[in-house]
Amino acid sequence: MKKKGILAVALSFMMVLGLSACSGKESKVVVTYNTPQNWVNWGNVLTEFSSKTGVTAPNDNKNSGQSLTALIAEKNAPVCDVVYLGITYGMQAVEEGVLETYKPEGFDEMEASLKNEDGLYSTVHFGSIAIMANTEALGDLPVPQSWEDLLDPMYKDMIGFLDPTSSAVGYSVCVAMNEAMGGDLDNFDPFFEYMNKLSENNVICPKQTSTAKLMKGEIPILIDADFNGYTLKYDQDGPIEIVIPEEGSLKIPYVIGLVKDCPHPEEAKQLIDYLYSEEGQQLFAQGYVRPVNTDALTDEVKAKFLPDSDYERAIEVDWQKMSDVQDAFNERWIAEVSVSEGE
């Protein structure tokens, strides 16, 4: 390009900047972490929030572990305003000092185990760990109904769950397996004994959400949060069957936190208030989670869930202790487990 052309482009760009500055209008925005568009209906949640408030709220594809890592790295110059985390990562975020107090409507009535007493985070909804199978990809093979079933060699090269060292769901899968095998948060030996057997079926543990691979049949059996299976089954007409394992499973609370010294605090509080509003809770329920406001779960959505009797097998644990032992679990996983991350 000739010098005159370069100069003309530069002048045009400067004029645009000047006009934007002179308009005196600054678009409002709120930055979130760990809000993938197809995860628990976050796409519609943020779209509806923006529509009602005029605040731009982009989706973000980090998982809980990646979000916490980013918050720690950005601690002195925060980028994020509102973070969504599995509860154990929420507890770690408190320990790292990256959250600040904000108590949304209904906070005082919430069970003590589902919130930080100082208002640094609070539960927004629940899921449960489930076995999800693509029945077309399985062909003539039966859908596994238990953790024990997954050890059968006929499922070799078919099973996956998220890396537990970076994903709230992945760690929850391991805790669920451990509890079902007779272990507890003081003793993960049963899990590692089980995982040693399961590894013979060439389990893969990717770091990013893998529901698309389940839908395509690339991972025919995915152990994950139940709501992801329901989304594929009902919203994408996928050949997906969801199973709460016969030996037992685990509930997973997800929490919301206001990032300390965030760049857009007023917009952040607006978003948090919306997430706990009746409309926000109903939108989450449409993503097949169980909202903390149980009245927001309509009969229409609940009818798509497995029977309540199945969910009685999904237990709660001491979430704080689950968080406290996570680092030790991660170290042992890295030392003892050899699995592929997949492609």
Q: Confirm if 120 and 100 have CB atoms less than 8 A apart.
A: yes
Please write the tens of the pLDDT for every residue from 211-245.
999 999 999 999 999 999 999 999 999 999 999 99
Burial 258-282 (b: 16+ CB within 10 A, else e): bbbebebbebbbbbbebbbbeebbb
User: What share of the chain in percent tops pLDDT 90?
Assistant: 86
Residue 342 pLDDT greater than 90, yes or no: no
Q: Give the per-residue pLDDT at 284.
A: 97
Q: Give the per-residue pLDDT at 82.
A: 98
Q: Confirm if 205 and 338 have CB atoms less than 8 A apart.
A: no
Overall average pLDDT of the 189-196 stretch:
97
Name the pTM for this structure: 0.85
Tokens of 61: 């594809």
Please write the tens of the pLDDT for every residue from 12-23.
333 333 333 333
Look at residue 206 and give its three-state secondary structure.
coil
Q: Confirm if 215 and 238 have CB atoms less than 8 A apart.
A: yes
pLDDT band for position 102 (cuts 50, 70, 90): very high
**Contacts (Cβ under 8 Å, ≥6 apart) of 292:** 106, 110, 114, 122, 123, 124, 125, 126, 276, 281
Return d(Cα 147, Cα 304) in angstroms, integer. 23
Q: What average pLDDT does the structure give for the chain?
A: 91
Q: Give the per-residue pLDDT at 26.
A: 62
Please write the tens of the pLDDT for every residue from 73-84.
999 999 999 999
Overall average pLDDT of the 178-193 stretch:
97
User: Residue 313 corresponds to which amino acid?
Assistant: R
* Separation of CA 7 from chain center: 48
Q: Do the domains 129-246+308-336 and 32-126+252-302 match in fold? A: yes
Q: Give the per-residue pLDDT at 210.
A: 79
Tokens of 303: 């009818």
Complete DSSP assignment for 152-189: SGGGTT-EE---TTT-HHHHHHHHHHHHHTT-BTTB-H
Return d(Cα 174, Cα 332) in angstroms, integer. 12
CATH placement of domain 129-246+308-336: 3.40.190.10
* Separation of CA 328 from chain center: 22
Side-chain half-sphere CA neighbours of 221 within 13 A: 26
Return d(Cα 174, Cα 252) in angstroms, integer. 12
Residue 42 pLDDT greater than 60, yes or no: yes
Q: Confirm if 82 and 256 have CB atoms less than 8 A apart.
A: yes
The residue extents of the domains of the chain are 32-126+252-302, 129-246+308-336
Domain 32-126+252-302 fold is D-Maltodextrin-Binding Protein; domain 2 (3.40.190)
